[in-house]
Chain A
Amino acid sequence: MNSSPVDASASDASSMPQKRFSNLRSVRWRIDLGVLPSSPPASIDDIRRVTADTRRRYANLRRRLLIDHHSPKYGKASPDLTVDNPLSQNPDSTWGRFFSYAELGKMIDQDLSRLYPEHSGYFHTPICQALLRRILLLWCLQHPEYGYRQGMHELLAPLVYVLHFDLDHLTQVQKLYEDFFSDEFDKISFPEGDFLSSHRIRRVKNWESGIEIENNLHKITNDHSRDELDPDTREMLLLSDSYGAEGELGVILSERFMEHDAYFMFENLMFGDQGVVSMASFFSPVAGSNSNLPPVIEASSALYYLLSIVDSSLHSHLVELEVEPQYFALRWLRVLFGREFCLDDLLVIWDELFYSSNSRYLDNDVEFNFEVLCSPRGAFIAALAVSMLLYVRSLLLATETATTCLQRLLSFPQNPDMKKLIEQAKSLQVLALESNILSSSCQTYSNKNQLTICRGYSLPSASALPKTSLNVIADRYWEEQWRVLHKDEELRKQSNGHLSSSGIMKKILTKRLSFSRTNSEPFEGNNAHALSSVRRRLFDDSSEVIEAAKDHVKSECNESPVISNNLNVGKGFPEELADQRTSNCMVEETFLSGHNALVVSTPTSPHDIGNDHENESEKSSITSNSFLGDNDEETISMEESCSQNKQDEESTNMEEPCCQNLDKQLAQDAEATSSGDVDSIPEQIAAPKDQKPFAGKFQWLWRFGRGSKEENQESKRSQNAGHIQKDGFDISQCDGTYASCGINKRIEVGDKKVMDTIRNLGQSMLEHIQVIETVFQQDKSKFDPLDNLSNNILGGKGQGTAIAALKELRKISSLLREM
């Protein structure tokens, strides 16, 4: 639906079946602005009738307001001279009105003399100037609360230009098919008496047609009937036919009524046709109804808000330099970018702009951030502004002071790539629309943000606008979880040094997992900062984990097979480390490349490595199964060994075979893992904070194998409970192990915990569901099939995270099923 081409003026109507009159900009714009009926399919006759009505209204208005106060008013007794004399102070007197008109006229004349000097051949002719002046004067008189503000003339000028352009087009077509258009018989033309006819070729039509008879290159002879005309020309014929509905007054492309048409186009543009964006409000300093700010200031903040979502580094740079948005946005918004682009480019932009509807698409009770973003047209304006900012991004980032930055902003490059700008604007438009809605759970947060935003971005806190509201919730939730678990960890520290430390290990793991889960939350833009910080935390954690495990294992094993295993472990750990790192790097790559990647939220589990293809998930499940198989043997052997060994050594033993499994796993997955950014690994090796044993999940297995020591079990339970809610896959895997081991003692162990587990599982399910919801909300309107995948970075990421969340849900549900 949104696939309208950028340059509509030259294209054929048939290429865009949904856009009528695509080659007649004035008609198209009149429909888009609401002057002409758009309810499809309005017939030409209907359009003509509406046109005639509007023209009558304008004529009345003109007659009424530009009164000639000399003419005696019929039905009015001799005017009261004390009121009606020229020096009267009374503003209602005709003279008072005369003087106010004169003042307005002077202001308007001043502006008009400076209008479009590069097109002065058209705009500075006395006829055109008089026309523009009259229209502006009448509009200002009709709406005295707005008065005349500088810039209104620049909104009007392209409208008049477009009307004139179409008339020229019409004359060309008329020349070509003159037999159908002309009223001439016997080669006698009837003078039209139009004021612009001196500028047109029509006057010399007879002379030229005489010459063309000889050439006969382009002239269509009389043999052709009307039906043989192509649809465009036929349409033109109907639009300019003097004999259609409403006769002369209904001729849609009419020179005589150019003023009337331009007036109504201008009026509808200024008032937005009862839509959201009304240009008139941009000119008034009066505060809008929603916020305490004038609408243009609010719109400027809206565009900064959008920029912060899309490109927060540029945004923060601008805020740092204290470049308030209204410094440059005022000019951009008030004349709808008329000063930044040349006239031809501007027409293309306005095509797109008017094509977006102006009606409010939110219900009245839905809270929103910015008034201006409530309609697609407003969102397009903001999106175009942001895409313009992004276009000169490098220039802006290079500036050091506010003045140079503003200089660069106010002198936008001469011939930008319009196609690119507009495409980007269209994609950002949807984003703007979505980000405008506040979900109910984040009300206060967003309100707080709105306040900071509305303070005009003078506070640096405004620049710290985070990704999305959902992220905030997610962070808080997971942090909370971590804190809860951390408390347990503290408790256990006293009771049981080794085991508690293993518990701590588990906590670290879960923390890591939780952060990685945050990673998979949807975020709207290339929020490199947050992402890298999160990733760094992940790396640190994993380094801690691995280092600690390494040390621990090294310190505690005392048997030769153990030692040999240890060597393996020693080898395995760096590999594991690498593996973890690569997996994390994979995560990074995935997000940056924007492929439809499966970002699985548990990169710590060695089988769940971020992959590029969906079938790899199957592979990972296969490997996990194989792991299970391995575990089987290991568990059995473990059981035997466990019963023999002491607790300490058991745990060690537990880890070793598990590490062995890990080794095997690594070997299996070696080819699966693409060697991501291994370079970043060396830097990440940080000193471990604690001596924590590795692979808390294997504790689970150990516990099952062991089946004893209540207090440990207690601690394990809480650990495991925490563990379960974070790592669904591991649970299912462990559960599989449990089932395969066939040890039924577990039942009473797990029973009490089942309740808690289920509760926690439910909560995590809810989280995942929320994730998916937001992702698909973003995706729903901007889902571009296939072609735009490369451009659709956000969609790709969103899809990836959605799929990840779905996987988690699936795991959890399977787990619940088994319980």
Chain B
Amino acid sequence: MVLVLAIGDLHIPHRAPDLPAKFKSMLVPGKIQHILCTGNLCIKEVHDYLKSLSPDLHITRGEYDEDVRYPENKTLSIGQFKLGLCHGHQIVPWGDLDSLAMLQRQLDIDILVTGHTHQFKAYKHEGGVIINPGSATGAYSSITYDANPSFVLMDIDGLRVVVYVYELIDGEVKVDKIDFKKTATTQSAH
């Protein structure tokens, strides 16, 4: 019953003034246990706001982030799952599944969360899950046109993860759900 928020690419204040109001009303403190932020916040105020939603905040560095101390990659373990976080601009071609899978193998994780493309994607790949939460503000991207604001909420419960996708389409919040089940822990190849 652990709720993990995956969010990123807000580009505040450069490309967007703020989160959409509807998203803001949904994100109330106390419900979410962890936040994985892919990067490009860009300023400290956004960092503080996210910190207020949950005490456990993990951020990786995006190319426009003003705080240079964020790491490039991050891994953490929640429940039975190993999660990994990266902004994604380091992985070329941007948004390519196979390249991201390489990173997943490299970090030895079950769930990889990346961003940069400003487009929501969720792949089930080689016993793992690769998730791209998109841009929470729907900020301009040179590789995606008409990006809708979106973010992802993961409900990790034992060996099962339910991914809720929240998208703001035409002013309405649309929710979608994807179920992933982890097979019995496999031997990690080292």
Q: Is the CB of A87 within 8 A of B157?
A: no
Q: How far is the CB of B177 from chain A (nearest CB, A)?
A: 6
Q: Is the CB of B26 within 8 A of A87?
A: yes
Q: Is the CB of B175 within 8 A of A85?
A: yes
- State the CA gap A723–B155 with chains docked (Å): 95
Number of interface residues of B (CB under 8 A): 20
Instruction: Give the contacts of B79-134 with A (CB-CB under 8 A).
Output: none
* Proximity string of chain B (157-186) to chain A, C-beta cutoff 8 Å, 1 when within and 0 when not: 100101010100000011111000000000
User: Which chain B residues border A98 with CB–CB below 8 Å?
Assistant: 1
Which residue of A70, A86, A89, A99 is within 8 Å of B164 (Cβ)? A86
User: Which chain B residues border A81 with CB–CB below 8 Å?
Assistant: 164, 175-177
16 additional A-B pairs beyond A87-B27, A87-B28, beta carbons within 8 Å, are: A70-B157, A81-B164, A81-B175, A81-B176, A81-B177, A82-B173, A82-B174, A85-B153, A85-B164, A85-B175, A86-B31, A86-B155, A86-B164, A87-B31, A89-B26, A99-B31
Q: Is the CB of A89 within 8 A of B31?
A: no
Q: Is the CB of A70 within 8 A of B31?
A: no
- State the CA gap A88–B164 with chains docked (Å): 11
- Range for the number of chain A residues in contact with chain B: 10 to 19
**Which residue of B is nearest A102, CB measured?**
B1
Instruction: Give the contacts of A38-70 with B (CB-CB under 8 A).
Output: 70
- State the CA gap A648–B93 with chains docked (Å): 140
Q: How far is the CB of A92 from chain B (nearest CB, A)?
A: 16
Q: How far is the CB of B9 from chain A (nearest CB, A)?
A: 19
Ordered by A's residue number, 26 sampled pairs between the chains whose C-beta atoms are within 8 Å are A70-B157, A70-B160, A70-B162, A81-B175, A81-B176, A81-B177, A82-B173, A82-B175, A85-B166, A85-B175, A85-B177, A86-B3, A86-B31, A86-B153, A86-B155, A86-B164, A87-B26, A87-B27, A87-B28, A87-B31, A87-B153, A87-B164, A87-B166, A88-B26, A89-B25, A99-B31
**Which residue of A is nearest B157, CB measured?**
A70
Instruction: Give the contacts of A65-83 with B (CB-CB under 8 A).
Output: 70, 81-82
Q: How far is the CB of A76 from chain B (nearest CB, A)?
A: 15
Q: How far is the CB of A88 from chain B (nearest CB, A)?
A: 8
Q: How far is the CB of B6 from chain A (nearest CB, A)?
A: 13
**Which residue of A is nearest B172, CB measured?**
A82
A-B CB proximity, top 8 nearest: A81-B175, A87-B26, A85-B175, A85-B164, A82-B175, A86-B3, A81-B177, A86-B153
Q: How far is the CB of A571 from chain B (nearest CB, A)?
A: 95
- State the CA gap A627–B30 with chains docked (Å): 95
User: Which chain A residues border B176 with CB–CB below 8 Å?
Assistant: 81
- State the CA gap A86–B28 with chains docked (Å): 11
* Proximity string of chain A (419-444) to chain B, C-beta cutoff 8 Å, 1 when within and 0 when not: 00000000000000000000000000
- State the CA gap A89–B27 with chains docked (Å): 10
User: Which chain A residues border B26 with CB–CB below 8 Å?
Assistant: 87-89
User: Which chain B residues border A86 with CB–CB below 8 Å?
Assistant: 3, 31, 153, 155, 164
* Proximity string of chain A (75-112) to chain B, C-beta cutoff 8 Å, 1 when within and 0 when not: 00000011001111100000000110000000000000
- State the CA gap A85–B153 with chains docked (Å): 9
- State the CA gap A82–B174 with chains docked (Å): 7
- State the CA gap A777–B78 with chains docked (Å): 73
- State the CA gap A710–B190 with chains docked (Å): 136
Q: How far is the CB of B186 from chain A (nearest CB, A)?
A: 23
**Which residue of A is nearest B23, CB measured?**
A87
Instruction: Give the contacts of B23-58 with A (CB-CB under 8 A).
Output: 25-28, 30-31
